[in-house]
Structure 1
Amino acid sequence: MPTKPTIFKRATVARSRLFRADEIQLRFSNGEQRTYEKLCSGGPGAVLIVPLLDENTVLLVREYAVGIEDYHLALPKGAIDAGEDLLQAANRELKEEVGYGARKLQFLKKINLSPAYMEHGINIVLAWDLYAERLEGDEPEPIEVVPFPLADVLSLVMRPDVCEGRSIAALFLAREWLAGRLPLTSPVVTPEASVDGQ
């Protein structure tokens, strides 16, 4: 295993409402020095949910993405609010974006978006045994919910309107876990909310 470089200087070079960019000066174990910039995360993190309506139907959402200046089909996701753990956040976001809560939740994996220059990551959570419950979210317009057969995930990810790498990775992780090919140590969690969310 290589020796990690030493950080000998760090400074914030830009800040916006959503992002902070730091300049980091590193010295590698062979003496080489480099300056890198990275986007730093803020807050407690984020979740991306793979909601299963039944054993073979995944629920996706169609929403506008300003990065590509178009609508795309992806899995529901959102920030973890202060005071929430990642499974509570997953269940809340599911209710806000899809109109369902989950009786069962399973953390699958945390993935990084672009580790070469971004600190940001997202926690992938599988949700099933769903029940109807809607919470008001912060979306600027109603979100279209699109059911799709999980068994046909390969044709789904090849569609031109499915372009988000996080959702593609999550769909394949979910498929592998459901097939028993993804060993996990974290337990399935059953939220304490009743069927009607009370």
Structure 2
Amino acid sequence: MSRLPKIHARRELDPGHVFRIEQLDLEFSNGVKRTYERLESKGLGAVIVVPMRDDETVLLVREYACGLNHYETGLVKGRLEAGESILEAAQRELREEAGVAARDLVELTELSLAPGYMSHVTHVVLARDLYDSPLEGDEPEPLDVEPWPIANLRELTARPDCTEGRTIAALYIARDYLLNEKENA
């Protein structure tokens, strides 16, 4: 297995609000030297939550996606706040975006967005045994909550308003986790 490259120098290029650009001068184990740039997250990471209303139904939220300038249907998600655990962040985001809390939260895995040039990680959390527990969040408008059969993911991902990669990956990961759990029960 290859060793990690040696970092000879680091430079911050264009400090931004959410990310900073870091330039790295690297030397690989075979002696090759290269300069790479990466987006260094200023946050603590994020959570994406798969809230299961029952064994077959996931709750999705519809919210404005500024990057694409349209409304996107996907999972509850948000940044980790200082001093907050992954499961605490998942519970808070559930309450703020879907108006529910969960008695059962399980971290399934973590996803990177573009590991070749970003340091950001999103933790995938499965939420079950839901109950009403709304909490005011930072969204500029109320989010629509849409129940969806988790067995119909192909139909969901064919929609033009469900394109976000983390949502799609998390839904398939949770669906497989739940199927495996059912098979082994």
Deviations along 1:57-106, whole A, 9 cap, x unmatched?
A: 10111111111111111101011111110001100100000000000001
Paired residue for 1:173?
A: 173
**Could you list the runs of 5+ residues in structure 1 that have no partner in the other structure?**
182-198
Give the partner amino acid of 1:58.
Answer: V
Give the partner amino acid of 1:136.
Answer: E
| 2-structure distance, mates of 1:43, 1:72 | 23
TM-score (normalizing by structure 2): 0.95
TM-score (normalizing by structure 1): 0.89
Paired residue for 1:15?
A: 15
Paired residue for 2:116?
A: 116
Paired residue for 2:98?
A: 98
Paired residue for 1:31?
A: 31
| 2-structure distance, mates of 1:166, 1:131 | 25
Indicate the structure with greater helix content: 2
| 2-structure distance, mates of 1:134, 1:42 | 28
| 2-structure distance, mates of 1:148, 1:12 | 44
1:6 aligns with 2:10: no
Give the partner amino acid of 1:152.
Answer: N
Compute the RMSD of aligned alpha carbons: 1.0
Offset, 1:17: 1.5
1:79 aligns with 2:76: no
**Could you list the runs of 5+ residues in structure 2 that have no partner in the other structure?**
none
Offset, 1:44: 2.0
Deviations along 1:16-62, whole A, 9 cap, x unmatched?
A: 11111101111111211111110011232210000001111101111
Q: Report % sequence identity.
A: 50
| 2-structure distance, mates of 1:69, 1:36 | 31
| 2-structure distance, mates of 1:134, 1:71 | 22
| 2-structure distance, mates of 1:28, 1:16 | 29
| 1-structure distance, mates of 2:160, 2:43 | 32
Give the partner amino acid of 1:55.
Answer: D
C-alpha contact 2:18 2:43 (8 A) present in aligned 1: no
Partner-residue secondary structure (3-state), 2:180: coil
| 1-structure distance, mates of 2:66, 2:21 | 20
| 1-structure distance, mates of 2:68, 2:8 | 37
